[in-house]
Amino acid sequence: MRLLQPILFVMLAVLLLPVVFAQEKDYPSGIDYQSVWACHGQEKFNWYCEEEIKPPKDEAPDAVNKTKEEKAVEELDKIRKDLDAKRALSVVHPTPENIKSYMAAQKVEIERAAYYADVWRRVLWQNAELNFELKNPMNNSAIKVATRERDAKQTDTMTELAKEWGIFFFFRGDCPYCKHMVPTLQWITRQYDMTILPISLDGATIEGLPPTVKDNGLSAKLGVEAVPLFVLGNVKTHKMVILGSGVLALQDFVDRIYVLTQTKPGDL
């Protein structure tokens, strides 16, 4: 019997061992290699299970596919947010440390802007097609030359247009600004020999200009709502170009007539 008991104990242990493994689910906490016990959802007593390879966090697929421009936009946005955050902190909590931190960040941005401006002008100097000053000079001496050339063109234009074009002057008798425009219109007539035709919307007359005519419905066609209103009209083609309303200076008249009849958007 003494010999039989050890044998029975060993046999009982062998029989109960699978049951223990089948019911035991709480694996030791020291085992952090998950695939030791499970591969693809199936429990296996296998020490050679491959884990899924995951891309590094700092190299996400979207970040790899971004263009240089997109990355630059994100970087610039980060710089702005960082500077704004430091400025906000220095304003809300104006301690010496916070203000110094903001000043240091701002200094970096000022130096960056100065470097950018320096590279910009170098590129501009070496690429004439990018130089806007060729059409609109900023230099004082060049401005004088451009102004002189443009004045000459405007004078020639006004003289030539006066042969076929005239100015329709819409007014009312109770309009003080309409009367104020009489000297300017008189000067245009004397200087360029351009005809002025006053058109009264209320039957009133105005002194100092050619005889007034009553509105025959032209104001309705043009949508006249405010006076004084000035319209350039061609006596041959009957084409009409609205110059504008309100009090206009002499140079305004000349500029508008030249721009609206001799140029296209973007030419100047």
What does the pLDDT look like over 85-135, one tens digit per residue?
A: 999 999 999 999 999 999 999 999 999 999 999 999 999 999 988 888 887
Worst-scoring range by mean pLDDT, 37-46, 67-76, 94-103? Answer: 37-46
**CATH class held by domain 142-261:** alpha beta
Both structure tokens of 64: 């790899």
pTM, entire model: 0.56
Taking the C-alpha atoms of residue 262 and residue 256, their distance in angstroms, rounded to an integer, is 10
What does the pLDDT look like over 185-201, one tens digit per residue?
A: 999 999 999 999 999 99
Domain extent listing, the chain: 72-123, 142-261
Percentage of residues in the chain with pLDDT exceeding 90? 53
> Is 70 exceeded by the pLDDT of residue 214?
yes
The residue type of 13 is A
pLDDT average, residue stretch 45-54: 53
List, in sequence order, every residue forming a beta bridge with 199; answer none if it has no partner.
170, 213
Q: Tokens 């955050």 belong to which residue? A: 85
* H or E element, residue 238: none
* Residue 139 Cα distances to 23, 132, 142, 266, angstroms: 92, 12, 5, 21
pLDDT at 50: 55
Worst-scoring range by mean pLDDT, 3-17, 117-131, 235-249? Answer: 3-17
For 131, residues 6+ apart whose C-beta sits below 8 A from its C-beta are: 124
